[in-house]
Amino acid sequence: MFLLVFIALLVFVTVLGEPLKQKYEPVIKGPMIAGPPLPGQAMDSEAARDVSYSSAEDGKRVTVRGQNGLTDPSKDKPYVDHEILVQFSQQIGRDKIAGLLNGSGMYVAEVLNAANLCRVKIPDTLKVEDAVKMLKGIPEVKFSEPNFIVHTTAVPNDASFSSQWGLQNTGDNGGTVDADIDAPEAWDQATGSSSVIVALVDEGIDLAHPDLAGNIWVNPNEIPGNGVDDDGNGFIDDVNGWDFKHGDATVYDSAGEDRHGTEVAGIIGAEGNNSVGTAGICWHVRIMPVKFIASGSGTVANAILALNYAVSQGAKVINCSWGGTSYSAALESAFQSVLNAGILVVTSAGNSGKDTDTNAHYPSNYDLSNILSVAATDKNDNLSYFSNYGQTSVDLAAPGSSIYTTIPGGGYASFSGTSASTPFVTGAAALALSVTPGLSYSELKARILNAVDPIADLAAKTVSGGRLNLNNLISS
């Protein structure tokens, strides 16, 4: 009844020629990009799209919410049209939810988790911001927000850089000797284990790449191609993971859709010592492709489903080389569930060259103890020009400029961005777990941060003040 009255009032006022005053500004057109444009994408001025947030206090990450527990769908925050995300009370059933929406033209399109978080479709005639406001006064609604769009955090780089300086820097091509993570020294002690599962929540991965094929996760309880959900997990033929973007088991669709995921995968776990191409941080690992992004962008709703899948299928570490400046309570709740499962999440700090203590980037800014936020450094141990930073919101840095890695079709190319630095830390976490499998997420996080090389340029720009050192970590 509440919704019917609201809609009637909205229509009545509009007909009289006096549109209802909006609390929120109209949504802008075009994608929000966290840094320089991706290949083939145009972007408006970065300065014109900045979103200012209140500063972090007491060393906590920045979290910004609207009033009354609702996320503010203001301008500069792109989202999916004709739908919203709604967290209903866990004390009510699906029939009650349907009753609350009855007569409004809204309906539940998808239930995202067991806690009554739903993707709700709204009528084409209703604006997203109006739909969010309509639900504001309903006691059974904990929060409602747009289904925001997030983007990968890669920086395009066409340079032909043919050595993996981040693993071992010899000072060639203008680099600085030992401005690296000391990987060869670490590999004298450990090279990884196929028992460690890393979920790549991202684009898809080229499963046939000769440097990746042997390290792709295989669902042991699923029979390939029989059209049956053998393990009863709700996903048919999810032999190597799941594609939440397209809703199928094909986790690699094309070079155009899945380059970013393939690049990230190569940094984590390209097979080592196989006389082919490059070496990942972990020579032996199981990378689980959990696709929710294609061609650089994906939705919060699909990210939530992807995170749920990674947890349910046994991931020990989750890599998230993506993000945006829009706060999502729904996405934070999903990462809280990952925390409850005791899993470390490694996230990119973003590519806007900004201080995220005051200019938040999510998910890296969620104030959750299982999140590691990673900045990028160049081959001289300087903070990369594009990298975000933050004395309380960014934990450490890792190599992220001109990183040579795998690309679809069996090839290799340079890759830059905090998308590239993040998998260095993810791979390091996986390597540490191969040596000490019983580490909790908090112990693993502490070891990584305590093992960094102190770097002058990072002293006031990260929590640890340092850059990843793999040898120190494995020796600890």
Residues in the chain: 476
The residues, ordered by sequence, that sit 6+ positions from 391 with a Cβ below 8 Å of its Cβ are 357, 460, 461, 462, 463
3-state secondary structure of 2: helix
For the beta sheet containing 453-454, the strands, ordered from the edge strand earlier in sequence to the opposite edge, are: 242-243, 284-291, 192-202, 317-320, 344-348, 371-377, 396-399, 466-467, 453-454
Alpha carbons 31 and 277: distance in angstroms, whole number: 35
Active site residue 163: no
* 337 φ/ψ angles, rounded to the nearest 5 degrees: -65, -35
Q: Please compute, for residue 25, the number of CA atoms within 13 A of its CA located in the half-sphere on the CB side.
A: 8
What angle, 0 to 180 degrees and rounded to 10, lies between the N-to-C axes of helices 300-312 and 329-340?
A: 10
DSSP state of 156: -
Can you state the percent helix, strand and coil of the chain, rounding each to 5?
25, 20, 55
Alpha carbons 189 and 154: distance in angstroms, whole number: 31
Would you call 435 exposed, middle or buried from its count of C-beta atoms within 10 A (0-12, 13-18, 19+)? middle
Active site residue 260: yes
Alpha carbons 380 and 176: distance in angstroms, whole number: 5
Active site residue 202: yes
Quickly tell me which residue has 């996405």 as its tokens: 331
Q: What is the DSSP annotation of 20-88?
A: PPPSSPPPPSS---SSSPPTT-----TGGG----PPP-TTPPP----GGG-----TT--EEEEEEEEEE
Quickly tell me which residue has 């046939």 as its tokens: 208
Q: Any bridge partners for residue 260, and if so which?
A: none
Amino acid at 474: I
Quickly tell me which residue has 């000072």 as its tokens: 171
Catalytic choice (180, 182, 202, 357): 202
Among candidate residues 84, 73, 75, the one with its CA nearest the CA of residue 27? 75
Amino acid at 1: M
Token code pair at residue 14? 């509009």
Catalytic choice (104, 130, 253, 260): 260
Residues with a catalytic annotation lie at 202, 260, 419
